[in-house]
Amino acid sequence: MKKEELIQKAYEIAAERYAAVGVDTEKVLETMQDFHLSLHCWQADDVTGFEVQAGSLTGGIQATGNYPGKARNIDELRADILKAASYIPGTHRLNLHEIYGDFQGKVVDRDQVEPEHFKSWIEWGKEHNMKLDFNSTSFSHPKSGDLSLSNPDEGIRQFWIEHTKRCRAVAEEMGKAQGDPCIMNLWVHDGSKDITVNRMKYRALLKDSLDQIFATEYKNMKDCIESKVFGIGLESYTVGSNDFYIGYGASRNKMITLDTGHFHPTESVADKVSSLLLYVPELMLHVSRPVRWDSDHVTIMDDPTMELFSEIVRCGALDRVHYGLDYFDASINRIGAYVIGSRAAQKCMTRALLEPIAKLREYEANGQGFQRLALLEEEKALPWNAVWDMFCLKNNVPVGEDFIAEIEKYEAEVTSKR
C-alpha cells in the first residue's frame, strides 16, 4: 500500500475516533489552513543582519554554535527561508529585524532608515506570497550600551526614539503594500548588570519615549511591546519588565508580545493569555524554548508550548493572537531548525484544536472533576498525528521524517559554497 493510501486510511479512522468525542477533524484542517506563523529571519544568519557597519552581537543576546552553512548575504538568507518554507505546510509570514534592510552596501545609521531600504523585501514578499512583519533593533550598535530608549543621555535617547519612529513608518508601508497590517514588535534590551537604585527614573524615561514613538497613528501596521526578565550582562534589572509593559499596554491599548523565553523558568506563559486578553486587544507570541535561561533553543512539542496553544483555543482567541517564532540555534543546520520549530508549533495547534472542549466544559460546569481529568488524559492518546499527517499531505509537503533527507541534501549543496 502506498504511503498516501496509508495516510488517508489512518485519517479516516482518526476522524471517526474524534467524531465520537464531538470533534470535527475536517473543520480542524480548515482552521489549520488559516494558521500563519511569522518566521523569524534571524535564525538563518545568527542575528547578524546586513548593516555595513555591523558590530558584534550585544544587548544581552547570544547565539551559540558555529554550524557550517550560515547565510552570508540577503540572497542566501532569502533562499534559505524559501527552502525552509517548502517543508512547512500552509502559508506563512516573514518577521524582519531592521538590521536586515537591503542597504545596497551603503552605511545607513539606524536613525536614517527609510521604507526604501525594504522595498526589495516588499517586492520579494509579494512574489512569494509571504507577508511581512517587522522589529526595531536596539542592540549591536555603538549607541546601544546598556540603555537605549531609557537612556538619561538625551542625545542617545532621541537617537533611538527616531530609529523606532522610522521603523513604524517602514512597517506602515509594508502593511499598505501587502494589504494586511504589518505587526511591528518593540523590544529593547535596557537594563543593568548589578543593583539599580533609581529604577523609577529609567522606567519614566522609557514611558516618555514610548509616548513620543506612538504619537503618530497608522492604519496599516500594529504595534506590539515585549518584556523580558533579564539579558546576559544585564541580570539585575530590566527596565521593560513584564509589569511595565502590561501597565503600558493596558493603558494605551497596545498589543502585548509574550516571548516564551522571557519569563521565570517555572512561570506559565499559558496562564497569562486569558488575563491579558481581558485588557489588551491582541497578543503576539514569540515561541521559543528556554533551557535554564532565555537560551533560544529550537521550539519542540513540549508541555509549555502545548499548554500555550491549548489555552488560546480554549479562550476562543484564534482571531486575537498572532504567532511568531524566536530562536537562533547556530549549533545545528539552520534550515532544519526552522522546519523543526515551525512544524512543532503547528503540531501543538493541531492538538489544541482537536481537544474535545465542548465535553470538557460540560464536565467542568457540572463539577465532574473525575470525568474532566479522565477525558483530558484519554484525549492525549487519540490519533491526532493522523490528522497532522493529512494536513501535510493536503499541503504537498513531506509527511513524517521525509524532510530530513531532503534538508541533508540541500545542506551538502550550500555548505560546499559558503
Q: How confident is the model over 228-253, as pLDDT tens digits?
A: 998 889 899 999 999 999 999 999 99
Could you give the CA distance from residue 293 to residue 249 in angstroms, rounded to a whole number? 25
Cβ within 8 Å of residue 121, ≥6 positions away: 96, 100, 101, 102, 132, 174
Within 10 A of 227 (CB to CB), how many other CB atoms are there? 22
Could you give the CA distance from residue 104 to residue 114 in angstroms, rounded to a whole number? 13
- The class that CATH gives domain 34-355 is alpha beta
Nearest partner of 327 among 49, 42, 131, 77, judged by Cα: 42
Average pLDDT over residues 372-392: 97
Within 10 A of 385 (CB to CB), how many other CB atoms are there? 14
Mean pLDDT of the chain: 94
Task: Report the chain's terminal Cα–Cα distance, integer Å.
Answer: 41
The dihedral over CA atoms of 49, 54, 58, 64, expressed in degrees to the nearest 10, equals: 50
Average pLDDT over residues 33-55: 88
Average pLDDT over residues 170-185: 98
The annotation places the binding site for Mn(2+) at 262, 294, 296
Average pLDDT over residues 381-407: 95
Cβ within 8 Å of residue 11, ≥6 positions away: 25, 386, 387, 389, 390
Q: Coil, strand or helix: which one is 287?
A: strand
Nearest partner of 55 among 109, 131, 9, 16, judged by Cα: 109
Active site residues: 187, 226, 228, 259, 262, 286, 294, 296, 326
Residue that has been written with the C-alpha cell 507570541 in this structure: 285
- Residue 318 pLDDT: 97
C-alpha cell of residue 15: 476522524
pLDDT, one tens digit per residue, over 264-282 is 988 999 999 999 999 999 9
pLDDT value at 61 more than 80: no
- Residue 46 pLDDT: 81
Inter-residue contact 226 to 187 (CB < 8 Å): yes
Percent pLDDT > 90 in the chain is 85
| CA 178 to centroid of chain Cα atoms | 19
pTM of the model: 0.94
Within 10 A of 37 (CB to CB), how many other CB atoms are there? 26
Average pLDDT over residues 114-142: 96
pLDDT value at 103 more than 90: yes
- Residue 411 pLDDT: 86
pLDDT value at 6 more than 90: yes
Assign residue 140 a region (left: φ > 0; alpha: ψ between -120 and 50; beta: otherwise): left
Percent pLDDT > 70 in the chain is 99
DSSP string for 164-177: HHHHHHHHHHHHHH
pLDDT value at 54 more than 70: no
pLDDT value at 180 more than 90: yes
DSSP string for 66-100: --S----SHHHHHHHHHHHHTTSSS--EEEEEGGG
Buried b (16+ CB within 10 A) or exposed e, 303-319: ebbbbbbbbbbbbebee
Quick one: which H or E segment has residue 415? helix 402-415
pLDDT value at 324 more than 90: yes
Q: Coil, strand or helix: which one is 298?
A: coil
pLDDT value at 215 more than 80: yes
Side-chain-side CA neighbours of 189 within 13 Å: the count stands at 22
Nearest partner of 316 among 256, 273, 369, 359, judged by Cα: 273
pLDDT, one tens digit per residue, over 131-171 is 999 999 999 999 999 999 999 999 999 999 999 999 999 99
